[in-house]
Amino acid sequence: MNLKKTKWWQKSVIYQIYPLTFADANGDGKGDLKGIIRRLDYLNDGNPNSQTSLGIDAIWLSPINQSPMIDNGYDVSDYRDICPTFGTLADFEKLLNEAHQRGIKVIMDLVINHTSNQHNWFIESSSSRDNPKSDWYLWQDPAPDGGVPNNWLSYFGGSGWTFNQQRGQYYYHTFNYNQPDVNWRNPDVKAAIYDMIRFWLNKGVDGFRLDASSVYSKDQYFRDNPMKFGATDKNDYNNQHHLYNKNLPDNHQIIKEIRQLIDEYDDRVILGETFIDNRLYDSVVFYGVNNDELHLPFTFEFAFSPWYPAYLQQEIEKKELLTPAGASPTYFLDNHDIPRHLSRWIECSLCTNPKAIAKAAATILLTVRGTPLLYYGQEIGMVNHLNIPPEKARDKAVANPQSGESVPSRDGARTPMQWDDSAQAGFSFGKNVEPWLPVNENYLDVNVENKLKQDDSILNFYKSLLRVRKNSEALQVGRWRTLIYYPYEHLAYLRETEHESVLILINFSYEKDLGLDESIEIPMWEVLLSNKRKTGKIIDLPEKLQPFEVSILRKS
């Protein structure tokens, strides 16, 4: 792949911000757009030689649209306005301008599988069976016995159907009952959503991350999903084959139409969450037959892999084999829906040193072929907050009061960004503020200001790694090739273009023989970055890897 011919998202690093807990400018304890603006220089100040800036290329903002915040923004009540929690439309326009001045692209979350039940569309639709928006949601009569229309379940637990007294009918919701699914078979719904997308593109947004992009379309006959062989619990979402409420063929037509709309504008991108329980071979089809659907579909297999070389390489090799020609894989370790990777992987690793795991994980994420996504705080080593009192819990959507069921809270991965060791970790620019979620107790040590001062910190390693990646054609667009086919305790792979070869060595354990295939010609190597070797030094290929070594070498 030619670096000059690639699109910006194929060589960029995208940084996800959860706005509620990133930075609070007005002192109300909740993050906002002005807070993000005040922290932009930390992300990228426009200076490639900056000593304090990360140097990321784009930010993805979790939802900031008008919302009653039952699901913290993933329940939109007005697509064309900003939730007052975060500021105003003028604040967003300023954020766009300030970000673009620094070379930062801005990607918005686009939640279009469902709306809030407080959206005007749903209020009108639910008012009667004969109003102009009567068919804008998925309404069905009760079953002959008066119960739910079919066996479709909510991902958050219990039935996916909720009864509406005004219409005397049930409406379907993939998620919480406050989030009714829209009817994508209605052309008026499509037109309204597509017009809204143009509204934001015309403002200069650089792209969208499509939330739950595999569940837009549902079976027009509302047939029951078949149960998996041997399953006994009919109320368990994972016990169904979701043939009729997920990933239907016409779902891809919807995404293709959104892509066509996006392509009317220069240099815009669409990412997509292809839903948490899709397998990789299902998700790959979201690129489209002719790379005409999502630019960057992402799945959870890599993030959910055990911290073990063979499993991680298996996921990389799958993506290498299945990603269409001309397209880019997408990788992430953390996001707003899953526990942070250091909390997950330290439990399944022989290594009890979080710093070693963090540096190794960062190296894999930022040196495999594809577009990496960072989640705020992972660059300083943030971990899940495990002691949030019930009265301070904010993830209300996962509880289903109708069924009494719930899925695990996601609050622990959404706590405030830890900027310094002052009150509330510097999250709020106000004083004596109680933040929306409690700050993790480790903030006195794990914070940006502190880690910038430590030469061997996770943060400074990320900064160096991001600079190495930005200055390497091979790491941005080169081919990926493994040098160990059955990795046991270390990874060794090459990134190559016609002009550059970069070797990545990662040891997951104690001192080990490197043990590469003897048929591979290995010249002298320059150390680009290492936690064990001196940067800039020219070395022979090492015969042994030092304990928990991470080294990035360039053919000299």
Q: Which residues are tagged catalytic?
A: 211, 273
Assigned token pair, 495: 């990134």
Nearest to 426 by CA among 447, 441, 440: 447
Report the Cα–Cα distance between both ends of the chain, in Å, rounded. Answer: 22
β-pair type (161-164, 169-172): antiparallel
Residue bearing tokens 């304890």: 29
Q: How many helices and strands (H and E) does the chain possess?
A: 13, 23
Alpha helices in 408-544 (DSSP H): 448-452, 458-470, 473-477
| Residues 6 or more apart whose Cβ sits within 8 Å of residue 295 | 7, 9, 207, 259, 269, 270, 271, 327, 328
3-state SS of the chain: helix, strand, coil percent to 5? 30, 20, 55
**What is the distance between the alpha carbons of residues 233 and 239, in angstroms, rounded to a whole number?**
7
Contact 508, 363 (CB under 8 A): no
Instruction: Match 């072929």 to its residue by tokens.
Output: 369
CA distance 104 to 382: 23
C-alpha to C-alpha distance for 518 and 555, rounded to whole angstroms:
17
How far, rounded to the nearest angstrom, does the alpha carbon of residue 86 sit from its chain's CA centroid?
Answer: 20
Q: What is the DSSP string of 241-271?
A: --SSSSS-HHHHHHHHHHHHHHTTSTT-EEE
- The DSSP result for 370-424, as a single string, is SEEEEETTGGGT--------GGG---GGGEETTTTEE----GGGSPPP---SSGG
Displacement of CA 338 from its chain's centroid (Å): 10
Amino acid at 441: E
Q: What CA–CA distance (Å, rounded) separates 195 from 176?
A: 26
Q: Cβ atoms within 10 A of the Cβ of 373, count?
A: 27
Nearest to 112 by CA among 28, 215, 29: 215
